[in-house]
Amino acid sequence: MKRNLALKIKQEKGITLLALVITIIILLILAGITIGAITGDNGIIKNAGQAKEETEIANEKEIIEKATVQAMGNNKYGNIEESELQSELDKETGEGKTEATDIGEEFEVVFIDSNRYYTVDKDGNVGEAQDIIEDKNPGDITTGKDGEALDGSEEHPYEIWCIEDLVAFSNMVNGEGIRLENGNPVEITTSNNFSGKYVVLKTSLNFKSKLSYQDSERTDFGDINGNENDGNTLINEMTTGMGFKPIGINNGFAGTFDGQNEETKGGYRVTNIYINYENDTELNGYGFGRPIGLFAKGSSQSTIIKNLEISGEIKGAGHTGGIIGQDAKLIENCINHANITGYNMVGGIVGYTAKITNCTNTGDIDITGRRWGYAGAGGIIGNGNSVENCVNEGDISGNVALGGIIGYNGSTSCKINNCGNYGNITLNEGKSIETSVGGILGVNGQKVEIKNTYNQGIIIGRGIISGTGGIVGASKGASNESELVLSIYNSFNTGNVTYENNIAGGIVGNQGRICAKNYIYIENCWSLGKGSDFGGMIGTINNNSNTETKTEINHCYYASEKAIGQIDKENDENIVNHAVQKTEKEIYTQQFVDLLNSYTGDEEAYPTDWKTWKLGKGGYPVFE
């Protein structure tokens, strides 16, 4: 009996111990879940912190919105003034809690306690919250903002965190000035073209904003803007006189620069750039100034600039572009909002020579002079050889070859594909027959293929010029030995095209002389241009015994009185004109869309590299 009782007690103790162990394990599991729920990535503590920050941001934005509305209401013109905005912010938060600054295109409002700031545009729209970044190593791109060493490899690229970094980077490429090391200035004695190296922009920079500098009042970088007697504070150097010294103006940049303006990377921008080298006296040996842009000169073999968005003002006395003045292997995914003024070859993205893809220009472009007959200004590039998936929205003016995408083509391998122009293009005087204006290309001087393009801007030609056209101004030679081929496929023009002293063309303005051979092929194109002295397809064909001329127009449509405005020699056997007149009413139909999509080429099918058509919001055919 006692033995049975003892055995029972032992068994119950075992069960109790097992239950205790299980209970402890369960508690530990529960505790683990609780700790995770409290401290994990989605834990209560972190969520509470995020909720608090979101509440603070919402409150700060509400304060700015109230102050902005009141400041606009206090102004008789409805404008925002810096002093009035600051006054209203002080009423909302108390004095010393915020700081409002006019930075040109917008205002910045800093909340001092939270170390956050917001932008406010001139219409009163408030931007998203941004943290004020402290770079512990300004002016040293080889060291990260927290002290980490960088070697310029693709894995550890050099970093631009502030204006000091950008200036030091420019100085290093140019081989002059200083950089900073452990906060101390180091004199630069040799140039570094950064060949094989990578440089990245790590935050948005605004040349007029004190927040883009670690110390906007520093003077250790010395005279940059060409005025030794202005105090040399860095923010003043960057915004007055000659302004920022372009990267590579002396020796060229040969590496890769990533501006990271894509939203997936950061959506960064460089704004209020100020570069004024229109009186540059250091000529390049050809009678005009050095290349100018944010980057001045690169290498056609190695320079890559991508994902860069800029705004401001850039002026040059040589080849001038928003992103780079001259020479690059590739420019991609870049946006220029800066107004550009330059000489000889000028572009919203590049002045001279580069492959360009997926870029946009919204800045206005003015070309002030010329040196060579092939000078030109384009919304994307002044003189180039390959442009794809690009759009120009800026207005273009000057007295040379002007084009919405390319000003002048002097290349035998030029291709313009999937590009469009919305900007107005105006030839101011046109004193020389070497000038022409076109919605996509100003002048073709070699061989070019234009495909899937459109012009919707107003095109105006004046004076003694070669031609004015909706897509191409003129195709003509630079010498009596040159051989020209212009092919325009699957493109359209809806912009008003006028040539004040002669005949304009809806697609091509002039098929000219000064060459041994001049062939033009136009297929599956249409134009809405009208007028008695107007050619729906071509304005004028100059065919004489000195030039072998061929013109073929197939599956094309026009709304004017005639397809070709004027032919020097009538009934020329080398002209094949299969263009068909259409009324504007007919063009604004699905039937016309179907007609364009019915084109069949040599393979008896619609070309795979041509965009198909649909009815657009304007009522006429546009690309799918």
Look at the block and give the residue holding tokens 């003034």.
81
Q: What does the mean pLDDT of the chain come to?
A: 91
- Token output for 3: 């033995």
What is the Cα–Cα distance from 617 to 619, expressed in whole angstroms? 5
Contact 443, 409 (CB under 8 A): yes
Look at the block and give the residue holding tokens 């100085």.
171
Domain spans of the chain, in order of start: 44-131, 133-364, 372-583
How far, in Å, are 474, 480, 505, 548 from residue 519 at the CA level?
A: 12, 15, 17, 8
Burial class (CB in 10 A: 0-12, 13-18, 19+), 375: buried
**What pLDDT was estimated at residue 45?**
58
What is the Cα–Cα distance from 152 to 474, expressed in whole angstroms? 46
How far, in Å, are 144, 162, 204, 322 from residue 308 at the CA level?
A: 20, 15, 10, 10
Rounded to 5, what percent of the chain is helix, strand, coil? 20, 35, 50
What is the Cα–Cα distance from 306 to 337, expressed in whole angstroms? 15
Contact 387, 358 (CB under 8 A): no
**SS3 of residue 440 by DSSP:** coil
Question: What are residue 557's DSSP bridge partners?
Answer: 526, 580
Pairing of strands 483-489, 401-403: unpaired
- Token output for 81: 């003034």
One-letter identity of residue 490: N
Contact 436, 508 (CB under 8 A): no
**SS3 of residue 585 by DSSP:** helix
Regions of the chain short of the pLDDT cut 70: 1-46, 283-286, 431-433, 531-532, 570-571
Cα separation of the two ends of the chain: 95
DSSP string, 93-120: H-TTSEEEEE-SSEEEEEETTTTEEEEE
Q: Which are the contacts of 273, defined by CB distance < 8 A and separation ≥ 6?
A: 207, 243, 244, 294, 310, 311, 312, 313, 314, 338
SS3 for 57-91, per residue?
A: HHHHHHHHHHHHHHHHHHCCCCCCCHHHHHHHHHH
What is the Cα–Cα distance from 537 to 529, expressed in whole angstroms? 9
What is the Cα–Cα distance from 425 to 76, expressed in whole angstroms? 36
Q: What are phi and psi of 257, to 5 degrees?
A: -120, 130
The enclosing H or E element of 382 equals strand 381-383
Contact 414, 449 (CB under 8 A): yes
pLDDT digits (tens, 9 = 90+) for 561-593: 999 999 987 557 889 999 999 999 999 999 999
By C-alpha distance, which of 264, 278, 276 is closest to 312? 276
What is the Cα–Cα distance from 316 to 49, expressed in whole angstroms? 50
Contact 101, 209 (CB under 8 A): yes
- Token output for 573: 């056997």
What is the Cα–Cα distance from 322 to 227, expressed in whole angstroms? 24
One-letter identity of residue 147: G
SS3 for 510-524, per residue?
A: EECCCCCEEEEEEEC
Q: What are phi and psi of 119, to 5 degrees?
A: -100, 150
Look up the CATH number of domain 372-583. 2.160.20.110
**What pLDDT was estimated at residue 464?**
79
Helix spans in 338-496 (H): none
One-letter identity of residue 210: K
